[in-house]
Structure 1
């Protein structure tokens, strides 16, 4: 089987650390083209890649089968639609899109183009999350009564030069980190009955949301999702059942390992030796294992666009709940 030829839009944290960091170690793929304004940075990591100045030039390239869209959120829909209509398979960095309407349109375009469309919800393959999923699946904690997922970071100062912290389409922490926490919760428990969200700007000089505290109701069980810029001392996960509990401090190590240049094939990759509980090994590379099978053999995508769309719908409902300051019912998807 010939390699899947990849065009990478953007070479910031996502493009450089996550996607290039994984794909250069995967035999099913070769990154042929990168759209970036920093060719020196690209060639330091991918010496054989061609660098173009615009995403449109990359999408038009004949030596690209798969486009990975790591552009700012405001360009997720437009560039992905263009790539699909140009006959390319597409992976979009999370969040999928900025509105549910855009999501429905992209799914329709992918179906009409007969192309694979997936979203990089990589934290489905965090080691701690895989551990919780196994505990829940095997019933080790009994019936879950309380679930908390925090992505708190000590960042009390606004970094105004970063687009995620500037007012605009798809910016803010609810889109950025809320997408991760919602996706994980949906994978564990399915769709909630209601959502109650408090999404605010807390830091001096903030122009987009930087804090959220969200409660999802599942019958008598409560799932609490939070991100604060004023602490990094809270547990990452707290799971309480009627037969046991699970607490986990600290983030999954794979991002830091990729930043350091560690190969995902290294024996230490994805392993968390500091945990009091033996956790499952993190497996970000599995996303691309499954994607290769989807592209070459028609297998299911690692993250379906429909599941990523449900995250966007709940992001929208969370904003509405926060705006109205009340709990809103979640209309279950069909």
Structure 2
């Protein structure tokens, strides 16, 4: 194997401890080298070999680092990614890629000018449930897809204890947060739509950010409805697909985040395996016969993303999530807000 990629992570909160550090730790293609913790030393208790910096600036100045993971609040993604690129580092930046389309364009051009990588950490592409949806679509089990509905709901009346999530500014709110995941999933499957209609609202008491949205994506022969709310106690299926031949219905069931929160490392043959009672229901017609059965799900594995980053940087393979795809998500988000404000369909 080539030289491991020396990697620094910008924070060790929920994101750093759950979605990044464990994968950098167990993948031999990476060397989890450094992390920023402004006052605590939590990372060193789990990863005693890691260097702890007290500021982003110290991390960026580490000349040994080849890759920086920008996993800080949404509103800092642009500035920290730009700082990393100007320091000569490749970047993995969490979703949303940026807050505005203009910021995204600037970063893409900067990375190209320096021959550096930006990759957007859209980890929900590697959930077991979404991978099953992708398989059903690609195998044509439903015939021509006519209508899909993707949900990512929660039940949380109280405001977040993470104060940066509850500030009335561009880049906060459920459309940027959970919306980035399911918009990306829809675009990955079906490409960019022709137009967007959006309904974006605040529904929790005392909320100053959007905590409900519904987007309708217009395709030539299909519609995709993308929805999220913080006040859904009884969750609907996360994925509902209707095609000319049949339907597929699937609940959100990926188990990886639960396992990672327990402190488990992403290893072993059973990693990311769903329970059979979570499998999706297929009701369709195959070779003239009506089929109604639960399809066994594959396994979710966020390591596939990081392995893709390694193979891109070391072997010249495709970037697993190029910044242009992250930028398309922001185009949909901006169109959704504009549509909701004007109550008009926004052409793309």
The question of a shared fold, defined as TM-score above 0.5 by the shorter chain, is answered with: yes
2:341 matched residue in structure 1? 323
1:76 matched residue in structure 2? 77
SS in 1 for 2:34: strand
1:227 matched residue in structure 2? 228
User: Contact between 1:73 and 1:169, CA under 8 Å: does it hold in 2?
Assistant: no
State how far apart, in whole Å, the 1-side matches of 2:163 and 2:19 are: 18
1:163 matched residue in structure 2? 164
User: Contact between 2:198 and 2:339, CA under 8 Å: does it hold in 1?
Assistant: yes
State how far apart, in whole Å, the 1-side matches of 2:26 and 2:173 are: 32
Aligned residues, how many? Answer: 330
Which moves more between the two structures, 296-305 or 180-189?
A: 296-305
Gaps of 5+ in 1: none
State how far apart, in whole Å, the 1-side matches of 2:235 and 2:99 are: 31
User: Contact between 1:199 and 1:213, CA under 8 Å: does it hold in 2?
Assistant: yes
The partner residue of 1:313 within 323, 328, 331 is 331
Say if 1:162 and 1:21 are closer, same or farther in 2 by CA, change over 3 A: farther
Q: CA deviation at 1:293?
A: 1.3
Matching of residues 114-263 of structure 1 within 5 Å = 114-159=115-160, 161-231=162-232, 232-263=234-265
2:297 matches 1:279: yes
User: Contact between 1:165 and 1:171, CA under 8 Å: does it hold in 2?
Assistant: yes
1:86 matched residue in structure 2? 87
Which moves more between the two structures, 219-228 or 84-93?
A: 219-228
Say if 1:131 and 1:104 are closer, same or farther in 2 by CA, change over 3 A: same
Which moves more between the two structures, 253-262 or 149-158?
A: 253-262
Q: CA deviation at 1:162?
A: 3.1
State how far apart, in whole Å, the 2-side matches of 1:278 and 1:38 are: 46
User: Contact between 1:160 and 1:166, CA under 8 Å: does it hold in 2?
Assistant: no
RMSD over equivalenced CA pairs, Å: 1.3
State how far apart, in whole Å, the 2-side matches of 1:193 and 1:247 are: 25
Gaps of 5+ in 2: 280-294
Which moves more between the two structures, 196-205 or 242-251?
A: 242-251
State how far apart, in whole Å, the 2-side matches of 1:157 and 1:129 are: 29
